[in-house]
Amino acid sequence: MSVLIIAEHDNQQLNPATLHAVTAAAKLGEVHVLVAGSGAAAVADAVKQVAGVGKVLRAEAAHYAEGLAEELAPLVARLATDYRYIAATATAFGKNLLPRVAALLDAPQVSDLTEVVDGQTFVRPIYAGNAFETVQSDAEKLVLTVRATAFDAAAASGGNAEVLETEATPAQNLSRFVSRELTQSERPELTQAKIVVSGGRALGSAEKFNEVLTPLADVLGAAIGATRAAVDAEYAPNDAQVGQTGKVVAPQLYIAAGISGAIQHTAGMQDSKVIVAINKDPEAPIFNIADYGIVGDLFEVVPQLVGELKKVV
Amino acid sequence: MKALVAVKRVVDYNVKVRVKADGSDVDIGNVKMSMNPFDEIAVEEAVRLKEAGKVSEIVAVSLGEKKCEETLRTALAMGADRAIHVETDAKLEPLAVAKMLKTIADKEQPQLLLLGKQAIDDDANQTAQMLAALLNAPQATFASKVSIGDGEVTVSREIDGGEETLALKLPAVISTDLRLNEPRFVKLPNIMAAKKKPLEKLTPADLGADTAARLRVVKVSEPKARQAGVKVADAAELVAKLKNEAKVI
């Protein structure tokens, strides 16, 4: 029983998020990876070196360039004939594409799975991570999106898979790519970062958010996250949102500054190895899940913390 | 043009659900229910497009138990023109919902189909994409801005690294992100007026739909509990703990 994984990339580089799906899929059978794109030879080269990948299928067409679901879904559905499982990482790309594939295949989808129990049994979070359901299916085909933080990344080297060209499907022309604006950042990518520093509404303004959190992130080499409230108030860009409707992170260290700890936020960070909370309200729910807490004014505590960290790191 | 909006009745987002002792499901007896927040945003967007003269009629659809009527009345009070309730006690999976919405869309012929990006109970994030596939229509998921042009709709969508903009041919399926709009507060006269608006009743059988579950829920369990840790006095003590005890810096 083999698994087809859809690689996420920008035609230049493989998104490391895909490596987590490889690890989950390896529990189900032989892993093949589809690289569909335009001028994406370098991506196929990178994928063939990923440990655990048996074959790379490469489809080239101009209409695959922007990763549009309308164009990719018919290709994946055609290739799916040879696979029992179709999988991708539960990123914006995977979430957008895979349900469209599932419907074309008339197959059920298990979203955001956190555990592969066996070939028919999977665990996934529901109700913002307040419960986990174990689902079972003997369906002929199953579509899966994988929660990256629940599986280690497969090694990016050590593999030597064969690359096979596969014919492109015709252009659908239902939708047209117009533009893309990416947040520019020198920092590690939020979902891959080992340390994440996050701020909430208590920061008060975009200026304060940056003034307080940037030195802390700098000294730790951390990514910066935010609550929905901080994003809505435009203290931080939308793609920095951590939580049920934003990104799910599980870094080694998560520092929550001025974050109360609403369930919609903790859904996105409660699997962090060590959680630190800095909040002036000793009753804030974030202290119920924090390994270390400081009750105090973040505008005083965070600069002190930066000073102390500079002495040791 | 006609807009179709799908709304779901879910446990209110403020409720912290508990898993039943027998591990069969979460306990949602006697908890507050309300319209899925993302669906409220979808209704709001449809109403704004109607107010802007781009949409002529809004049809709200909900599938599920009898009480979904209340959810549809809320949509009508927000400004939807009429409602369709597909009544069933079956626990519906996204694919079954998408198939029934497809049948309704074939009959109603909406140009715009608006859905929330995910329901906050099953967190599946599937239905809109599945509906688009079944209709062979374009999709714009996680929409943060929608503008209707001539024969196409331009949508900005939230992606992991930022934002992208797509132009879709009509009819198109759009799923809403939180930042698309701020839903209006429903006023009492509108609630009264909504009671008089038409609400059509259907059953899955009327739509020729199979509602059988394809995924069997074997068990529902509590997440691994995190224990509250320790409070430390100051930044120096915190750094010492992170370095020597937790060893994460």
For chain B, domains (ranges, CATH) are 2-245 (3.40.50.620)
CB contact (8 A) between residue A293 and residue B161 = no
> Pick from B183, B210, B236: which is nearest to B93 by CA?
B210
CB B180 within 8 A of CB B143: yes
Mean pLDDT of A228-242: 96
The answer for B114, left when phi > 0, alpha when psi is -120 to 50, beta otherwise, is beta
Best to test chain A binding among B101, B126, B157 (most A CBs inside 10 Å): B126
Q: Summarize pLDDT for A133-190 with one digit per residue, the tens.
A: 999 999 999 999 999 999 999 999 999 999 999 999 999 999 999 999 998 888 999 9
Q: Which residue of B has its CA nearest to A298?
A: B235
Q: Summarize pLDDT for A260-270 with one digit per residue, the tens.
A: 999 999 999 99
A261 annotated binding-site participant: yes
**Helix H segments across B5-93?**
37-51, 68-78
Looking at the complex, report in whole angstroms how far the Cα of residue A251 sits from the nearest Cα belonging to chain B.
10
Q: Which residue of B has its CA nearest to A246?
A: B160
Query: In this predicted structure, what is the pLDDT of residue A1?
Result: 67
CB contact (8 A) between residue A309 and residue B239 = yes
* Residue type, position B45, single letter: E
Q: Kindly report, as residue ranges, where domains of CATH 3.40.50.1220 are found in chain A.
A: 190-312
Lookup: tokens for A115: 């555990």
Query: In this predicted structure, what is the pLDDT of residue A104?
Result: 98
Query: Which residues in B lie closer than 8 A to residue A264 (C-beta atoms)?
Result: 13
Q: Kindly report, as residue ranges, where domains of CATH 3.40.50.620 are found in chain A.
A: 2-165
Lookup: tokens for B191: 């609630």
Token pair 């995190």: residue: B226
Global ipTM: 0.97
Classify A190-312 by CATH class.
alpha beta
Looking at the complex, report in whole angstroms how far the Cα of residue A204 sits from the nearest Cα belonging to chain B.
20
| Long-range contacts from B222-228, C-beta under 8 angstroms, 24+ separation | B222/A131, B222/A132, B222/B19, B223/A125, B223/A129, B223/A130, B223/A131, B223/A132, B223/A270, B226/A270, B226/A275, B226/A288, B226/A289, B228/A287, B228/A288, B228/A289, B228/A290
| Spatial distance between the Cα atoms of A313 and B101, rounded to a whole number of angstroms | 56
A243 annotated binding-site participant: yes
Give the N- to C-terminal CA distance of chain B in Å, as an integer.
Answer: 58
A199 annotated binding-site participant: no
CB contact (8 A) between residue B223 and residue A125 = yes
- Report the percentage of chain A scoring pLDDT > 90: 98
What sign has the CA pseudo-torsion B211, B215, B216, B221?
Answer: negative
Nearest to B162 among A103, A181, A275 (CB): A181
What sign has the CA pseudo-torsion A204, A210, A215, A221?
Answer: positive
Query: In this predicted structure, what is the pLDDT of residue B225?
Result: 84
Q: Count contacts between A and B (CB, < 8 Å).
A: 256
Looking at the complex, report in whole angstroms how far the Cα of residue B58 sits from the nearest Cα belonging to chain A.
24
Query: Which residues in B lie closer than 8 A to residue A88 (C-beta atoms)?
Result: none
CB contact (8 A) between residue B249 and residue A104 = no
Query: In this predicted structure, what is the pLDDT of residue A234?
Result: 96
Three-state DSSP string of chain A? CCEEEECCECCCCECCHHHHHHHHHCCCCCEEEEEEECCCHHHHHHHHCCCCEEEEEEEECHHHCCCCHHHHHHHHHHHHHHCCEEEEECCHHHHHHHHHHHHHHCCCEEEEECEEEECCEEEEEEHHHCEEEEEECCCCCEEEEECHHHCCCCCCCCCCCEEEECCCCCCCCCEEEEEEEECCCCCCCHHHCCEEEEECHHHCCHHHHHHHHHHHHHHHCCEEEECHHHHHCCCCCHHHEECCCCECCCCCEEEEECCCCCHHHHCCCCCCCEEEEEECCCCCHHHHCCCEEEECCHHHHHHHHHHHHHHHC
A260 annotated binding-site participant: yes
Q: Which residue of A has its CA nearest to B234?
A: A294
Query: Which residues in B lie closer than 8 A to residue A173 (C-beta atoms)?
Result: 169
Query: In this predicted structure, what is the pLDDT of residue B49?
Result: 98
What's the distance, CA A40 to chain centroid? 21
Q: Which residue of A has its CA nearest to B169?
A: A174
Q: B103: part of which helix (H) or strand (E)?
A: helix B94-108
Instruction: Render each residue's pLDDT in chain B as its tens digit; 249 residues.
Output: 999 999 999 999 999 899 999 999 999 989 999 999 999 999 999 999 999 999 999 999 999 999 999 999 999 999 999 999 999 999 999 999 999 999 999 999 999 999 999 999 999 999 999 999 999 999 999 999 999 999 999 999 999 989 999 999 999 999 999 999 999 999 999 999 999 999 999 999 999 999 999 999 999 999 988 888 999 999 999 999 999 999 999
Q: How many CB atoms lie within 10 A of CB A281?
A: 13
What is A2-165's CATH superfamily? HUPs (3.40.50.620)
- B231 pairs with which residues across the strands? A293
CB A222 within 8 A of CB A186: no
Query: In this predicted structure, what is the pLDDT of residue B224?
Result: 87
> Pick from B96, B136, B111: which is nearest to B49 by CA?
B111
Nearest to B231 among A295, A307, A308 (CB): A295
Token pair 């549809």: residue: B72
Query: Which residues in A lie closer than 8 A to residue B126 (C-beta atoms)?
Result: 99, 102, 109, 111
